[in-house]
Chains A and B, each alone.
Chain A
Amino acid sequence: MKQLLDQEARSLARSYPISIEHVTKDYGGTAAVADLSFVVKPGRVTGFLGPNGAGKSTTMKILLGLASPTAGRATIGGLTYHQLADPTATVGASVESDAFHPGRSGRNHLRILADATGTPLERVDEVLELVELSHAANRHAGKYSLGMKQRLGLAAALLCDPPVLVLDEPGNGLDPQGIRTLRNLLRSRAADGNTVFVSSHLLGEVEQLADDVVVVNQGRLVTQGSLDELRQSASLVRTTSAQALLVTLEAAGGVVENRRPDTLIVRGLSLDEIGERAFSAGISLHELSRHNDSLEDRFFAWTGDTDGGTQANAKDES
């Protein structure tokens, strides 16, 4: 019991929610991020999802004090990155997958960070072991594969054992074994009460990694919530009068997708509301049930990319 209480106390002491509050970032009149607000909770793995150019990296850079917002603020445990007493002991980040000097060994790359943060050099070998990169520690980072570079970036983020992890596209280039290791690692850190914020445009990766998702498109928040809730927030309706029902439900404020001639996927209206609207319009229903979308379907619905072009693009770039 005491052990459980101690564990809880430790979790609370290390509780650092991330808060993005009305953040806007303009680049020469173009808004990379527009009035973006959301919260990332401790104890959860939160996926930050959006197509390329959606504003994910910019938001992360603002959070980490690498870019200044045009308006709004981004905080970690209520403080901006600059205000944190010991930023690297609080936040571990990896925002560039190839931010290494190609002629410097992976071990020396981490030793530099260890020097700067006052971390004992022995910890360098520990994190290299943790990300399974010990065998290549003395090799020049320029000769690493993309997956090895990702591991090195993750090692740097974990060096000071921080309670908050901010990782930009950490799964890029990882093989299935690497993805599994990453998933286990992030889940285990979240289970310890840490805050884990991971951006990705790889939907399958987020689906495997995340408890919660924040979806952005064109710099704006599209949706936020638990992955399970978001998946279940749609209803499936089968009717022989699909077109008439589509018009009725859209008029009632629903977002309706006509998947097949007799099938509609409806969001924004409860099952009861859909049933009542159909009844009022004299439309008979053959099925009305909760619908669990795949994340891919949801993503395209959120971002308005109905032809899957973003996904294809994302796969190409990965």
Chain B
Amino acid sequence: MNWTRTVRAELRKLTSTKMPLAFLIVLVVIGVATAIAVAAGTDMDGSKAFISTAADQQSLIAFASNALVIAGLFGAIAVAREYGHGTVVLTFLATPRRLKAILAQLAAAFVAGSVLGLVGAAISAGSVATGLTATDYGFMVSAADLSQVLAASTLAGAAGAVLGAGIGALIRNTGGAVTGTFLLLVILPPLAVQMVSEAFSWMPGTLATVVSGVSNEVGIGAAIAAIAMWAVVPAAVGLAAVTRRDVV
């Protein structure tokens, strides 16, 4: 059994249904909404202060938080539906070593999540740039900062997809996996911060803004490591569960 062909099979699974198109449509819709907000939106005082500086524009473009959630849902659906549709049987027949089969799924989710994150950030940057043409402001984000935003979104997308894939493997039900991922990335972090305010710096959304260069709650290296941990822990739990369970 060859590792490359196992991952190739997993990538073909992800690209041979309409799911990527559906997620691309979501990214475009977010992009259109962003462009409209930039072109027509104002601050409370009626000004356009929210787009008046390079830092403001970089904050608008920063897509890493969204990439985490969107790619998380993508990973959760991609893996959980394998169990729902029973196609996991074929996966485990072709690759009986479960560890290898799931690692290949995680690798494919990593790649797909990276692409989703990158495309999302690119659409976001394009949307902001397009919206700005209808205002008095130009596009002020430097190439270096734009690169950081794109890289951060790519990383966040990859991490989110791996996290979602881990939850999908653990829960094995698409609805449950989507709910679990949404809870973990969106609902639970603010609740955790309510209980322990110091936790704010280590929540996925905060870490995403740090790697995007629009906040400095923690060091960028620590933020990257923490985002990786947010992905690796659910993935490891899912992997451990799959290697022990029967396929029924």
Q: A residues within 8 Å of B by Cβ?
A: 61, 64-68, 81-82, 84, 86-88, 91, 93, 95-96, 98-105, 108-109, 111-113, 115-118, 156
CB under 8 Å from chain A, chain B span 84-99:
85-87, 89-97
Per-residue interface assignment for chain B, residues 12 to 23, with 1 indicating a CB less than 8 Å from any chain A CB and 0 otherwise: 110011110000
Please count how many residues in chain B sit with their CB below 8 Å of the partner chain's CB atoms: 28
State the CA gap A96–B86 with chains docked (Å): 7
A-B contact pairs, 18 of them (CB 8 A): A86-B1, A87-B94, A98-B85, A98-B86, A99-B86, A100-B87, A101-B13, A101-B17, A101-B81, A101-B85, A103-B19, A104-B13, A105-B16, A116-B8, A116-B9, A116-B91, A116-B95, A118-B5
Interface pair B97/A116, CB less than 8 Å apart: no
Known: A101-B17, A111-B12. A65 touches B86 (CB 8 A): no
Interface pair A113/B9, CB less than 8 Å apart: yes
Interface pair A99/B85, CB less than 8 Å apart: yes
**Contacting A67 at CB < 8 Å: which of B18, B94, B248?**
B248
CB under 8 Å from chain A, chain B span 171-224:
none
State the CA gap A102–B87 with chains docked (Å): 10
State the CA gap A197–B96 with chains docked (Å): 20
When distances are taken between beta carbons in the complex, the residues of chain B under 8 Å from A64 are: 93
Interface pair B12/A115, CB less than 8 Å apart: yes
State the CA gap A204–B97 with chains docked (Å): 38
B246 at the interface (CB under 8 A from A): yes
When distances are taken between beta carbons in the complex, the residues of chain A under 8 Å from B86 are: 96, 98-100
Interface pair A115/B8, CB less than 8 Å apart: yes
Known: A88-B94, A105-B16. A96 touches B89 (CB 8 A): yes
B47 at the interface (CB under 8 A from A): no
In the complex, residue of chain A having the shortest beta-carbon distance to the beta carbon of B86: A99
State the CA gap A34–B6 with chains docked (Å): 35
Interface pair B89/A95, CB less than 8 Å apart: yes
CB A116 to nearest CB in B, in angstroms, measures 4
In the complex, residue of chain A having the shortest beta-carbon distance to the beta carbon of B95: A116
CB B151 to nearest CB in A, in angstroms, measures 30
When distances are taken between beta carbons in the complex, the residues of chain A under 8 Å from B85 are: 98-102
When distances are taken between beta carbons in the complex, the residues of chain A under 8 Å from B90 are: 99, 112-113, 156
Candidate in A65, A86, A98, A112 with the most chain B CB atoms within 10 angstroms: A112
State the CA gap A108–B90 with chains docked (Å): 13
When distances are taken between beta carbons in the complex, the residues of chain B under 8 Å from A91 are: 93
Interface pair A113/B94, CB less than 8 Å apart: yes
B247 at the interface (CB under 8 A from A): yes
CB A120 to nearest CB in B, in angstroms, measures 12
When distances are taken between beta carbons in the complex, the residues of chain B under 8 Å from A105 are: 16
CB under 8 Å from chain A, chain B span 11-43:
12-13, 16-19
When distances are taken between beta carbons in the complex, the residues of chain B under 8 Å from A66 are: 89, 92-93, 246-247
CB under 8 Å from chain A, chain B span 60-114:
81, 85-87, 89-97
When distances are taken between beta carbons in the complex, the residues of chain A under 8 Å from B2 are: 118
Having A96-B89, A103-B17, A117-B5, one finds 8 other A-B pairs with CB under 8 Å, namely: A66-B92, A81-B96, A82-B97, A98-B86, A99-B90, A115-B12, A116-B5, A116-B6
In the complex, residue of chain B having the shortest beta-carbon distance to the beta carbon of A108: B16
CB A167 to nearest CB in B, in angstroms, measures 13
State the CA gap A113–B12 with chains docked (Å): 10
When distances are taken between beta carbons in the complex, the residues of chain B under 8 Å from A82 are: 96-97
CB B117 to nearest CB in A, in angstroms, measures 24
CB B91 to nearest CB in A, in angstroms, measures 7
State the CA gap A84–B97 with chains docked (Å): 11
State the CA gap A111–B17 with chains docked (Å): 13
Interface pair B91/A87, CB less than 8 Å apart: no
CB A122 to nearest CB in B, in angstroms, measures 16
State the CA gap A203–B235 with chains docked (Å): 46
State the CA gap A111–B16 with chains docked (Å): 10
State the CA gap A100–B13 with chains docked (Å): 11
Candidate in A98, A113, A156 with the most chain B CB atoms within 10 angstroms: A113
In the complex, residue of chain A having the shortest beta-carbon distance to the beta carbon of B82: A101
What are the 6 closest A-B residue pairs judged by CB atoms, nearest first?
Answer: A99-B86, A116-B9, A115-B9, A67-B246, A116-B94, A108-B16
